Amino acid sequence: MQESILSAGIDIGTSTTQLIFSRLVIENVSGFGMIPKIEIVKKEVVYRSNIYDTPLISNEEIDGEAVRRILENEYKIAGVKTSDLSTGAVIITGETSRKRNAREVVNALSELAGDFVVATAGPDLESVLAGRGSGAAALSEKTGSLVANIDIGGGTSNICYFKNGKVVDTACLDIGGRLIKINNERITYISDKMKGFLKKKNIHLSEGDRVSLSGGENIRKLIDITACMTDILEQSVGLVKKTDDLEFMKTNKLIEYDGIPDIITFSGGVADCIYKEYDDEFKFHDIGILFGKSIAESTGFKDYLTGNASETMRATVVGAGNYSMDVSGSTIEYQNCRFPIKNIPVVYVDIAENDIDSLAERIKKNAEAVKDGEKHKQIALASKGIRCPSFEQIEQMAEQITEAMKDDIEDGSILLIVIQADIGKSLGQAIKRRLGRDKPVVCIDSVSCKYGDYIDIGEPMSSGKVLPVVVKTLIFQTEEGR
């Protein structure tokens, strides 16, 4: 039996704002008489908005009201109400995530977008969503190749490596087409990171300088800058020797996976500029077209410029709408909870067969670090768990977990457990026997989390057999925090 749900994807990027609505179909794919296995079997984009310039009040603030008006109008055109939505994601990406009011704007928009549409940002998740939305993940699964997707936007370039459809590494660089803005042949904006890079490279350009496509020293400087950015991208995926420029321009981390990609796909706004020709290279009032042209002429990338991404400009928003949600395993247990449960920080702990006796102590220690002095803070306990544990080991884990979390349980917090191993129901039932029927418990499996993640859990689906889950990283970067 199939169940159909509507998902929203909203991307507020450095350059553009856009949304999509998708239809996701979930189905029990196991045979008759077997334990149910619920999977998302179909994803279809049913509405694509216009692509808008991201409205800003200033270089430091997003115009939240203008963004809201854009989205409300698109909802009206699509004939969609917030009550129609089951899942999705609102993502503020690139340089926009560093604006002063980014957190306030995204929280306000998450309310507009529906009960279980998540508000999230973070370079790792953005890299993964763009890679999946571009089709790179599917391409790696189809070919068995190591596929790298480079999603080049206005403020950042997000890189994701896929092998056999799975994510193997991510990276993000402060490189994009809108780090320098030009209007009426004048430089109107240079990002702080680009100012530092110009100083490092001893290139003298300032806001207010005149730039003409007809020639002159400053246009040559812009071409040199885009050549430098192209070289850094080549370094990032192992095509040329690494320099300290790569380290300087990284956002959070670089690729650590050992191996040069077999296939490289390009997505994002600048990707369109790789494959298209423009009469006016300042058409978008930035250096995006010059950057795309530089990549197209690159010797390092020349064998990879096949244009095989299924989505370019819309890769991230398609990823947000189609790939932000997963479903839990069907061997789960929950009681006395109101869904959705949103924005819960993850406390990760390793569980091995030979150290269950110390589990309570390690949970308490790790929880203290995440709570950071907030005594009543709701948390989610996550672990890979033990594959095929014995009855005694399940009972022992349940005893250690309830002991470690007893103060939280008495305070009224949900005992929320996320296990990767397929043991959610047996562990959840063992915990319920200790807590009784009045305490709120959620124990889900087949979901992977790590330290620093946040988790959302939505309304039960498929007759209550599974819960929709979004694992995310809520990172609103600042210049000081990079």
Helix axes 123-134, 315-323, angle to 10 degrees: 100
The answer to whether the CB of 119 falls within 8 A of the CB of 90 is yes
Cα–chain-centroid distance for residue 391? 37
Domain annotation covers residue 272: yes
Q: Which of 98-102, 130-134, 155-159, 202-206 shows the lowest mean pLDDT across its residues? A: 98-102
- What is residue 236's DSSP assignment? H
C-alpha distances in angstroms, 207 versus 149, 211, 218, 224? Answer: 32, 11, 12, 17
Give 320's pLDDT tier (boundaries 50, 70, 90).
confident
DSSP 266-312: EESHHHHHHH---S-TTTTSBSHHHHHHHHHT-TTTTTT-----S-S
Where residue 90 falls (left for φ over 0; alpha for ψ -120 to 50; beta otherwise) is: beta
Q: Are residues 190 and 240 in the same domain?
A: yes
Domain count, the chain: 3
Domain annotation covers residue 471: no
Cβ-Cβ contacts under 8 Å for 58 (sequence gap 6 or more): none
Q: Are residues 22 and 147 in the same domain?
A: no
Domain annotation covers residue 225: yes
Q: Are residues 363 and 287 in the same domain?
A: no
pTM: 0.80
Domain annotation covers residue 19: yes
Q: Are residues 350 and 447 in the same domain?
A: yes
Domain annotation covers residue 129: no
Asked whether residue 482 carries a pLDDT value surpassing 80, the answer given is: no
Residue 197: both structure tokens together: 């890079």
Domain annotation covers residue 454: yes
CATH code for the domain of 253: 3.30.420
Q: Are residues 11 and 113 in the same domain?
A: yes
Q: Are residues 374 and 282 in the same domain?
A: no
Alpha helices in 414-472, H assignment, sequence order: 424-435
DSSP 88-107: EEEEE-GGGGGSTTHHHHHH
Q: Are residues 437 and 396 in the same domain?
A: yes
**How far is residue 381's CA from residue 163's CA, in Å, rounded to a whole number?**
29
Domain annotation covers residue 453: yes
Q: Are residues 185 and 210 in the same domain?
A: yes
**How far is residue 160's CA from residue 168's CA, in Å, rounded to a whole number?**
8
Instruction: Name which of 281, 186, 177, 159 is nearest 225 in CA terms.
Output: 177
126-175 pLDDT, tens digit per residue, is 888 899 999 999 999 999 999 999 999 999 999 999 999 989 999 999 99
CATH code for the domain of 31: 3.30.420.40
Q: Are residues 67 and 92 in the same domain?
A: yes
Q: Are residues 277 and 143 in the same domain?
A: yes
Instruction: Name which of 340, 335, 347 is nearest 378 in CA terms.
Output: 347
341-360 pLDDT, tens digit per residue, is 988 999 999 998 888 999 99
Q: Are residues 145 and 264 in the same domain?
A: yes
E strand or H helix that includes residue 194 = helix 192-200
Give 473's pLDDT tier (boundaries 50, 70, 90).
low
**How far is residue 235's CA from residue 239's CA, in Å, rounded to a whole number?**
6
17 lies in which domain range?
Answer: 2-121
Q: Are residues 153 and 279 in the same domain?
A: yes
The answer to whether the CB of 322 falls within 8 A of the CB of 7 is yes
Domain annotation covers residue 478: no
